Structure 1
Amino acid sequence: MYPGTTPDRRRGRAGFTLLEVLVALAVTAASLGAIVQVFGANARAARTLEQHVALLQTARAVEAGIPQRRDLALGTLDGEVAGHRWRMDVRPLDAGELPAGARWVPRSVSIRVRGPSGAQITLETVRLVPRSGP
């Protein structure tokens, strides 16, 4: 016991006041709320990244399956791989006047992939095909 105090007065000074407890709880709640928001944002970013990687992998697989130069015809091919719809458009590439003795003709190849979520990615490339005719 403190000199000059009675047991009742000492008991009034011990511990925290209700206001201090409420402030501590409010600070803790705000901190936990911020932490939950950070975790939620990280989870959304991870899902978005996984979807993008899946789209890119599908587009690369379709690109790897582009027909050989002699078989690459103008037009559209489409299909589905692992739930991802893809479409490949092959068009003439306007490269201006080709030299008279050119053996190759450029073709524009556009590969579009749409995932189950609706996200899509497009790859563009150029392929040279043998010139047909004179």
Structure 2
Amino acid sequence: MCRPANPEGRGTAGFTLIEALAALAVMGAGLAAIGSLASSSLHAGLYAERHLAEIETARKIIAGMPSREELPVGRLTGSLDAHDWRIDSTLIGAPAAVGDALWTPQRIEVLVQSPSGAMLKIDTIRLRRQAIKK
């Protein structure tokens, strides 16, 4: 009959059930951390992509705005690339005469809302030219 040379060493030849469970727990924790990191990276990438689409749409809206003299005081609305937009224009301050023209500061607020509901707001001021009446 074949017997092991060291009969007391039979219990130390492999891994115990506790050691295997501990290794699985450590491996599970590591995989959970990697999954969480991948998820947050994916969400950050999607946020950046949506924000870039909002900025591109806002740039198109600003580029297509009427000229200084043609932009009416009040509100313009519309939709572009599935984004709703609004332009609010108000005159601020008193006009100043420079040469043969009056220049009036005009506050412009551009609001872009994406299909997901996120909003981008751009505030700017530009000068509106008016001819001096003689």
Structure 2 CA distance, aligned partners of 1:100 and 1:63? 27
Deviation at 1:106, TM superposition (A): 1.2
Residue pairs, 1:62-101, within 5 angstroms? 62-94=61-93, 97-99=94-96
Other-structure match for 1:44: 43
Give TM-score, length-normalised by structure 2.
0.85
**Aligned residues: CA RMSD:** 1.9
Give TM-score, length-normalised by structure 1.
0.85
Q: Which moved more, 1:66-75 or 1:114-123?
A: 66-75
Could you tell me which runs of 5 or more consecutive residues in structure 2 were left unpaired when the two chains were aligned: none
Deviation at 1:4, TM superposition (A): 5.4
Deviation at 1:98, TM superposition (A): 4.0
Structure 2 CA distance, aligned partners of 1:100 and 1:45? 49
Q: Which moved more, 1:97-106 or 1:75-84?
A: 97-106
Runs of 4+ in 1 over 6 A off after TM superposition: none
Going from structure 1 to structure 2, the CA distance change for 1:22 and 1:10 (only over 3 Å counts) comes to same
The answer to which structure, 1 or 2, has the higher relative contact order (CA under 8 A, 6+ apart) is: 1
Determine if contact 2:95/2:102 at 8 Å carries over to the other structure: no
Residue pairs, 1:1-134, within 5 angstroms? 5-6=6-7, 9-94=8-93, 97-99=94-96, 103-132=102-131, 134=133
Secondary structure (helix, strand or coil) at the match of 1:71 reads coil
Larger strand proportion of the pair: 2
Structure 2 CA distance, aligned partners of 1:100 and 1:68? 20
Percent same amino acid at aligned positions? 38
Could you tell me which runs of 5 or more consecutive residues in structure 1 were left unpaired when the two chains were aligned: none
Q: What letter corresponds to residue 113 of structure 2 in structure 1?
A: R
